[in-house]
Structures are given as structure tokens and as C-alpha cells.
Amino acid sequence: MTENNIAVKIDHVSKSFRLPTEASTSLRTTMVNYFRGIKGYKEQHILKDISFDVKKGDFFGIVGKNGSGKSTLLKIISQIYAPEKGAVTVNGNLVSFIELGVGFNPELTGRENVYLNGALLGFSKKEMDELYDEVVAFSELEEFMDRKLKNYSSGMQVRLAFSIAIHADSEILLLDEILAVGDEAFQAKCNDYFLQLKEEGKTVILVTHDMGSVKKYCNKAVLIDDGEVKVIGSPDDVANQYSLDNFARVISDKAEEAEEVEKIVEVDQLTVKMNSPEIITESDTIDFDISYKVLSEIESYIAFSITDVASNAWIYNDNSFDLMTEGKGKKSFNYKVKLPMLNSRKLKLQVSVRNGKNEMVAFASSENTPMIIIERTDVKTISEKDSATGVINRNGNWRVGL
């Protein structure tokens, strides 16, 4: 890969902020602190040695939890912040949209705001003259352009700002969660715009925490966690890792609440071990071991359910009621199942142990609640893609005419 193919090169970038420990920014506190030897701030490392390349034509996703440093990274790429260590090299003309309609002034007319916004984004008056009619037409605000912006509804303002954004013709585009705003019709427009960008082969860097859009638009993505690159590669890898991280957090929160209710411990050391990989195709076998230790003289059996994460609905249950065990000691089971009828879904395996009276005596903790991600391999055509959004894969037959 030659250097010419790289649009943006992020080379060992680190950044830390000084968070003031005192709220005031006055001369007095600064001087007092100086003489007392108090620093008055706390160093916080936001980005730690980040390196990756964005190639020309990439639709590149930057993903991360809130506070992971992804917005700071975006600002460094946009050259709003200077990196502390390392360097960012941008090869080409870059326009960034941290926010829509930056610098919009309510006292100016729509037309004046378009030109002001254009100048702020780095376009000349001539370039804006050429774009102006298209911008206005797309925003559908022809008759309002000579009115002051303060008389626009907020929806109209967003439309105008977005229209400028998408007509901003630049080699590299940086977008920060613009998708998160606007109504359904607006989202649809965004969708069309992104698909169009993708088709044109523009270099786009999208910062978001919406995995759906990453999977939909990006051909490459990076997951930033706690200021470091956690995963870089295909959007699916990144999206799955991201979902896994978030999911683990939610479950551990819930488990902590539930544990307080438990009183008498009859069953201990319940562990679930996956033998099959985390990400499987529709033809793979889901294979796992369950073991637990019974502490008192009770009958016990296992009940588990496979839950669809997105809808939180049970889609598959089974139990070992007919293989009831008796007495104390370590019990272990293996289970194998194929679920070829399922579409690409994220599933979680929730295991519990029950006694002979059908009462739950133990349930698996968060580290023993594995994720199962099914990625179908046979979804290729438009028809297949469109029908693959439900839980169960289509299995019917069409006949034309009656």
C-alpha cells in the first residue's frame, strides 16, 4: 500500500487535558496556587498512543462509549485541538461537521447565513455561488431565504444546515453523530446521503455510537475504549465487540441487584463454558458445558433459555428435567444444538439450576452468561437482506396468481 492511498494518517497520537480542580478562572486563585505550589488541575489522559490510517475511499467508523475519547480524536483530526504527542497527516481537503449550523446567526437572513457558514467551512464566495441554488432547493426553503433565521422553525434551521453540509464538496468528510438528530423523514434523507457518499467513493470518517449505521455504511471501523484502540478492522468485528462490551456492563449491573435477594446457598460454582466460537454461522452447532456443585441433599436439574438481545424475548428453552440428579456433589452436562432457522441475531445464553420442586436455586452470573452471535452467510440479494430482519429466517414459497 503506497502512501498516496492514505487520506488521513493518525500516527501515535496522545492527548491529555488538564482538568481544573477549582471552578474559577481568576487571576487571584492562579497566583495563590502558584505561590503555594498547588497545580490547580488534574491531568487526564484522554487518548493514549492512537495509530491508524484511513485510506482514500474508505467509509471509516470511529466507535466508542461516551467518554472513550472518540470526540477528542475527531477534534484532533479536524485540527481544532493540537495533539500532545504524535501527528495527524491529512492528505487532501478536509471538512468537518462536529455540529450542524455552527456560526448560524439568528439576526441574519437565511441567504446570509448560507454564505457565512460556507466561509466558516472554508469555501469561497464563488464556490458558494455555485452551490447556493442546490442548497436552497434541497432544503425546500426557497421562499424563506430572505427572512431572518430567528423566524425559522428549528426544523427549518436543521434542514438548511444539513443542506449546506451535504453540498459541501470536499475530498474528506468528518461527521459527528449528525444522524442522531431530526425526525424520521430527516433520518431517511441522511440515509440516502450516506449511501450516495459511499457510492461516490468519498472518504468519510463517521463518529458514532450507533452500531446500525456503522454496519450499514462503513467498510472499516475502529473501536476506541478508554483512549486506546481496542479493535480495528471490519465493521462487524467492531460492532460485535462493542455490543459485547456494553452488554456485559448491563448484565453485571443487574446481577449485582439480584444477588442481594439470594439467602441460602444450596448450589454453588455454576459455570457455563462455550465450546463453539462466539460468532457462528447458521450451520454451526452451538456447543456448551454446564457444571455446578450441590451443597445440600436436593434433587436438581438445569433450565436454560436463549434470549434475543435486541427484543429481550426468549426464543429457545430447554431443561434437563428428565435427567434429574440427586444429592450433593459436582454435576456437569454438555449440550449441543443447531439453530439454522434463525436470522443474524445477537443471543445470550441464560442458565439456571432448579430443584425438584421446580424452584430456582441458582442462576448464572454475568461472566457465565455467554453471548452467541449468529452471522448468516447466505444473505446477499436485496430480497434476502430485506427478509432477514426478523428473528426466524424465511421458509415459505411464493406462487404467482391465484
Partner 1 sequence: MSSKNWILLKELVKTDFKLRYQGSLMGHLWSILKPLMLFAVMYTVFIYFLRFGGDVPHFAVALLLGMVLWTFFTETTGMGLTSIVGRGDLLRKLSFPSQIIVVSVSINALINLVINLGIVLILGFINGVEISIYALPLIPLLLIELYALALGISFILSTLFVRFRDIGPIWEVFLQAGMYMTPIIYPISFVADAHPLIAKVMMLSPLAQIIQDARYLLTSSETATTWQMISNKGIAIIPYLIPFIVLLIGFSIFNKSAKKFAEIL
Binding site for partner 1 (CB under 8 A): 17, 25-28, 30, 75, 78-82, 96, 98-99, 102-103, 105, 107-108, 112, 115-116, 119-125
Q: How far is the CB of 193 from partner 1 (least distance, A)?
A: 20
Q: List Cβ<8 Å contacts ≥24 apart for 337-342.
A: 337/285, 337/286, 338/283, 338/284, 338/285, 338/286, 339/282, 339/286, 339/306, 339/374, 340/282, 340/283, 340/393, 341/392, 341/393, 341/395, 342/282, 342/315, 342/374, 342/391, 342/392, 342/393
In terms of CB distance, is 123 or 292 closer to partner 1? Answer: 123
Give the residue among 263, 324, 265 at the shortest CA–CA distance from 295.
265
What's the angle, vertex CA 216, arms to CA 97 and CA 8, rounded to 5?
A: 45
In terms of CB distance, is 100 or 136 closer to partner 1? Answer: 100
In terms of CB distance, is 103 or 327 closer to partner 1? Answer: 103
Q: How far is the CB of 117 from partner 1 (least distance, A)?
A: 9
Q: How far is the CB of 40 from partner 1 (least distance, A)?
A: 12
Q: How far is the CB of 72 from partner 1 (least distance, A)?
A: 9
In terms of CB distance, is 56 or 148 closer to partner 1? Answer: 148
In terms of CB distance, is 122 or 277 closer to partner 1? Answer: 122
Q: How far is the CB of 128 from partner 1 (least distance, A)?
A: 9
Q: How far is the CB of 27 from partner 1 (least distance, A)?
A: 4
In terms of CB distance, is 59 or 104 closer to partner 1? Answer: 104
Q: Are 375 and 281 in contact (CB under 8 A)?
A: yes
Q: How far is the CB of 271 from partner 1 (least distance, A)?
A: 48
In terms of CB distance, is 167 or 345 closer to partner 1? Answer: 167
In terms of CB distance, is 100 or 238 closer to partner 1? Answer: 100
Q: How far is the CB of 30 from partner 1 (least distance, A)?
A: 7
